[in-house]
Structure 1
Amino acid sequence: MKQPLGLILAGGRATRMGGGDKGRLMLGQRTLFARVIERIGPQVAALALNANGEVARFADLGLPVLPDGLAGFPGPLAGVLAGLDWAAVQGASHIVTVAADTPFFPEDLVPRLLLASETEGQPIALAASEAEGRALMQPTFGLWPVALRQDLRASLAQGERKVRRWAGGHGVALAPFPAGRVDPFFNINTPEDLARAEAMLG
């Protein structure tokens, strides 16, 4: 399989942070966007941002901006579909999604997702945080085949919003990542989370 394209999911409203673009939050001396781009960029053939609202506000990132195709902030699946449509135009077979508010995700995320999909013979692979013998699925960190985009479009039109349910209907491989001192999938939803992330950096 060729190197997949990458998509940063930033289409939510960040209500628990008081609104705005969470990716603009500063962690240390750099924004979350900068940290996420630095981690995912080397792992993918090209990178885009899924976000809603005024596109021009992201011009400094130098990335294609892909809004949801459905109104009302329907959730990550709409972002995945936007990425799959973009990838289809590029002639790519897969995308990998990451969340804009999760700055510590693994630097080997993409190869591990590809390996899980290939080893288990499943079309979709999702990351899982492994701690104390339990694997917690991370549904915004996944490998998605372009071949499923029309199925996803139809499912969204019928009201499907749950990533796990839709993905599970097609076959999911899990790529486990151990949660060490820092949970690689720790995400920042509140000011308290941001303070915790600052402590993790230290």
Structure 2
Amino acid sequence: MQPAGIILAGGQARRMGGGDKPLLRLGDRPIIDNVIERLQPQVSRLAISANGDPSRYAHYGLPVIEDDEQLGPLAGVLAGMEWAIQQENPASHLITVSGDTPFLPLDLVLRLELASEGENDRIVLATSGGRRHPTVCRWPVSMRLALKEWLTTSETYQVLGFIHRHDFALADFHGSDGDDPFFNINTPEDLERARDREKQMQLKQQSLSERH
């Protein structure tokens, strides 16, 4: 069975001047449209982890799950795990991605699964360009109780702090032409670079279509 998926759309976007980063415009649509379009076909079901008024994401027709934003991304991971096991056909694994990563690989889930080498209780963490991306992960839902305890008793809520206490593997990804497939948007300058990259991708697709 395919894993379930959660888009982590929390965070206060302080370096962007506040607001919801996933709803910033990239081309003619919000960033999160790209994220949904790329991840949804790879998972059995998809939800958004976000705080505040859920109606701002209502038109996507996806469940919007609230978490304790003071606990960081791991709170969204835990909320996703709890949501996944409550479904009619509970998923054994959860894929998490950030809501500000518009260029996710179309084979993300497959490669995360392959990197697990058949170990169901193994976390798989995506890497690219020598960097680890702690919010792009394959999580065994079975570790939700361990994660809940960690968030209750730990002095740090860092994602890697939790991952490093458990069995985990790395799945390395390489973008085309040196582009990072997990490029995320943290600053206005990042947003401009993402818009340029989106334009180049559209031009390339248009060129390929014209050839055929």
Larger Rg: 2
**Structure 2 CA distance for aligned equivalents of residues 27 and 56 of structure 1:** 21
Aligned residue type for 2:6: L
**Which residue identity is paired with 2:113?**
L
- The superposition leaves residues 165-192 of structure 1 with CA deviations (integer Å, 9 ceiling, x where unpaired) of 2111111111100144321111101111
Query: Matches of 1:59 and 1:120 in 2, distance apart?
Result: 36
Structure 2 residue matching 1:3: 3-state secondary structure: coil
Identical pairs, percent: 53
SS of aligned partner of 1:106:
coil
Cα deviation digits, residues 35-77 of structure 1 (max 9, x gap): 1000000000000000011112211111101111x3x532111
Unaligned stretches of 5+ in structure 2? 201-212
Where do 5+ consecutive residues of structure 1 fail to align? none
- Deviation of the 1:13 alpha carbon: 0.8
Residues in 1 aligned to 2:167 and 2:131: alpha-carbon distance in whole angstroms: 17
Q: Specify the alignment match of 2:139 in structure 1.
A: 144
Aligned-pair distance for 1:113? 0.5
State yes or no: 1:164 paired with 2:163: no
1:119-198 to 2 correspondences below 5 Å: 123-130=122-129, 135-159=130-154, 160-181=156-177, 182-198=179-195
Give 1:72-87 correspondences, 5 Å limit. Answer: 72-87=69-84
How far, CA to CA, are the matches of 1:33 and 1:117 in structure 2?
A: 27
Tell me, in whole angstroms, the C-alpha distance in 2 between the residues paired with 1:35 and 1:140: 17
Higher helix share: 2
Change (3 A) 1:8 1:121: closer
Between stretches 26-35 and 172-181, larger displacement belongs to 172-181
Q: SS where residue 125 of structure 2 aligns?
A: strand
**Preserved CA contact (<8 Å) 2:120 2:140:** no
TM-score (norm: length of structure 1): 0.92
In the other structure, the counterpart of 1:13 is 12
Stretches (4+) displaced over 3 A: 119-122
Aligned to 1:30: 29
Shift of 1:162: 1.2
Say if 1:122 and 1:173, in contact at 8 Å, map to a contact too: no
